């Protein structure tokens, strides 16, 4: 048996992995046009509107509303749905806080459904168990780019008359049964943050086929301002200032034209890695549903019979970039304000609202499957710059470490 690098053996790889640069001449051209125009504001400019049009066409949907971040994109979606104080929105326990912030700031209450142990996505059975008369909507998270079982989720949603929002922040152009994520629920939300498949540094976009929701989203993004009205200003609803700038829009226009090729490169590498490590004892890659196409924002797998932190340490010693545990704990245990139910000043709002369900608490054991996933998870920062050599080196190192640690 080969000696592990962490124990003084020869590492599998000694050269750094490529990081991948997503911006270049195409983005510079679009940005230069904005600078030369002298107008950086979306109203009066052309780039943000062009991006919205092209992104909607990419997904095959009717409407898209650009915004300032992935968090803002989800907030636009929640604003479209207009929950009342103490309404509940069911979502996933393994996600970024950006999924949760919009729920709380619209004075709704996040409720967490547990996950499937192998896909790391929402379990439709847990979703149904958590539905209550106060439930207003469902926000699913396509974790790491792996499409959720939307058939099962939407069946439950239709049964209870609930809209589904898809958080696709990590899942650009992921597919299930020939359908793109973000198009299977009522609303889809995407992030353009620096680490995502397509980037503007920070930015977001929300899509829908529903004309009424689209109108509300466009208003919510722009302070609730009805700009088509003449005379005194008209604000038919309360909104935020989530207007994307023309500089962001310019970069986004170039990015939206590249993203198909970029995702395909990631998919080829991720699918190959899964194939290469499929038979490694104690290593379980994230399961993709039949008919599903992962877009690999990260590459994730579970280790069984081994300590995940030790596995990650040994894998890094072999020259493979990785980390263990993603967010470490379910998101409701990571944020003090949420866990302690002290969001707005010293109040417990919305948890103490007269309509609020009694006994809602965020504690260990609330989502045991999610906790187990996080304890055993390893992530690799797979990206579009990886070639076959990087994939084979990663696979060789994973097998080497698994064999060594199990021995």
The pLDDT of residue 200: 98
pLDDT for res 20: 81
Query: pLDDT, tens digit, for every residue of 328-360?
Result: 999 999 999 999 999 999 999 999 999 999 999
Residue 273 falls inside a structural domain:
no
| pLDDT confidence of residue 276 | 98
The residue assigned the tokens 């997904």 is 59
Report yes or no on 205 lying in a domain: yes
Has residue 292 been placed in a domain? no
Q: Per-10-residue mean pLDDT for the chain, 407 residues long?
A: 93 94 96 98 97 98 98 98 98 98 98 98 98 98 98 98 98 98 98 98 98 98 95 96 98 98 98 98 98 98 97 98 98 96 95 96 98 98 97 98 92
Look at residue 271 and tell me if it is in a domain.
no
Nearest to 199 by CA among 101, 92, 80, 70: 70
Please check whether residue 122 is in contact with residue 115, taking contact to mean a CB–CB distance below 8 angstroms: yes
Task: List, in order, residues 6 or more apart from 114 with CB less than 8 Å away.
Answer: 93, 123, 126, 367, 368, 369, 370
Rounded to the nearest 10 degrees, how much is the dihedral formed by the CA atoms of 76, 78, 81, 84?
-130
Instruction: Tell me if the pTM is above 0.95.
Output: yes
Diameter over CA atoms, the chain:
80
- The closest alpha carbon to 241, from 34, 33, 43, 107, belongs to 43
- Positive or negative, the CA dihedral 350, 356, 359, 365 is negative
Residue found by looking up tokens 């109108």 in the block: 215
Residue 260 CB burial class (10 angstroms; 0-12, 13-18, ≥19): exposed
Domain encompassing residue 86: 25-258
Overall number of domains in the chain: 1
* Residue 17 forms part of a structural domain: no
Residue 122 pLDDT:
98
CA-CA distance, 185 to 165, in Å (whole number)?
6
Q: Which residues of 368-395 are buried (b: 16+ CB within 10 A; e: fewer)?
A: ebbbebbbbbbbbbbbbbbeeebbebbb
CATH of the domain at 159: 3.40.640.10
Closest by CA position to 146, among listed 119, 127, 124: 119
Domain presence at residue 43: yes
Instruction: Give which of 121, 169, 165 is closest to 300, Cα–Cα.
Output: 121
Helical H runs in 318-356? Answer: 331-334, 336-340
pLDDT at residue number 406: 87
301 found inside a domain: no
Which token pair is 220? Answer: 């919510």
- Is residue 406 a part of any domain in this protein? no
Q: DSSP letters along 198-210, please?
A: S-SBS-EEEEES-
């Amino acid at each position: 048996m080969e000696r592990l690098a962490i124990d003084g053996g020869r590492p599998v790889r000694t050269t750094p992995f490529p990081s991948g640069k997503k911006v270049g001449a195409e983005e510079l051209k679009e940005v230069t046009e904005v600078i030369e125009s002298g107008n950086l504001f979306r109203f009066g400019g052309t780039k943000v509107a062009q991006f919205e049009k092209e992104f909607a066409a990419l997904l095959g949907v009717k409407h898209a509303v650009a915004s300032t971040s992935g968090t803002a994109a989800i907030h636009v979606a929640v604003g479209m749905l207009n929950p009342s104080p103490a309404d509940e929105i069911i979502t996933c326990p393994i996600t970024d806080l950006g999924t949760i912030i919009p729920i709380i700031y619209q004075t709704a209450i996040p409720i967490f459904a547990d996950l499937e142990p192998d896909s790391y996505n929402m379990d439709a059975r847990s979703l149904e168990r958590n539905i209550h008369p106060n439930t207003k909507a469902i926000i699913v998270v396509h974790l790491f780019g792996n499409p959720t079982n939307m058939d099962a989720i939407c069946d439950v949603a239709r049964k209870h008359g609930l809209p589904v929002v898809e958080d696709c922040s990590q899942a650009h152009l992921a597919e299930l049964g020939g359908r793109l994520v973000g198009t299977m629920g009522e609303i889809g939300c995407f992030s353009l943050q620096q680490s995502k498949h397509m980037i503007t540094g920070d930015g977001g976009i929300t899509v829908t086929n529903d004309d009424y929701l689209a109108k509300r989203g466009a208003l919510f993004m722009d302070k609730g301002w009805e700009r088509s009205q003449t005379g005194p200003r008209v604000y038919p609803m309360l909104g935020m200032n989530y207007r994307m700038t023309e500089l962001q829009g310019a970069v986004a226009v170039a990015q939206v034209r590249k993203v198909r090729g970029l995702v395909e490169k990631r998919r080829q590498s991720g699918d190959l890695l899964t194939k290469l490590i499929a038979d490694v004892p104690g290593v379980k890659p994230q399961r993709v549903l039949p008919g599903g196409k992962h877009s690999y924002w990260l590459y994730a797998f579970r280790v069984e019979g081994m300590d995940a932190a030790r596995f990650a340490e040994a894998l890094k010693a072999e020259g493979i970039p990785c980390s263990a545990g993603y967010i470490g704990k379910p998101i409701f245990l990571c944020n003090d304000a949420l866990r302690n139910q002290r969001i707005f000043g010293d109040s417990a709002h919305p948890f103490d609202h007269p309509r609020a369900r009694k006994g809602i608490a965020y504690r260990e054991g609330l989502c045991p499957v999610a906790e187990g996933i996080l304890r055993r998870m390893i992530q690799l920062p797979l990206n579009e710059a990886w070639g076959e050599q990087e994939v084979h080196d990663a696979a060789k190192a994973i097998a080497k470490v698994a064999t060594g640690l199990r021995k």
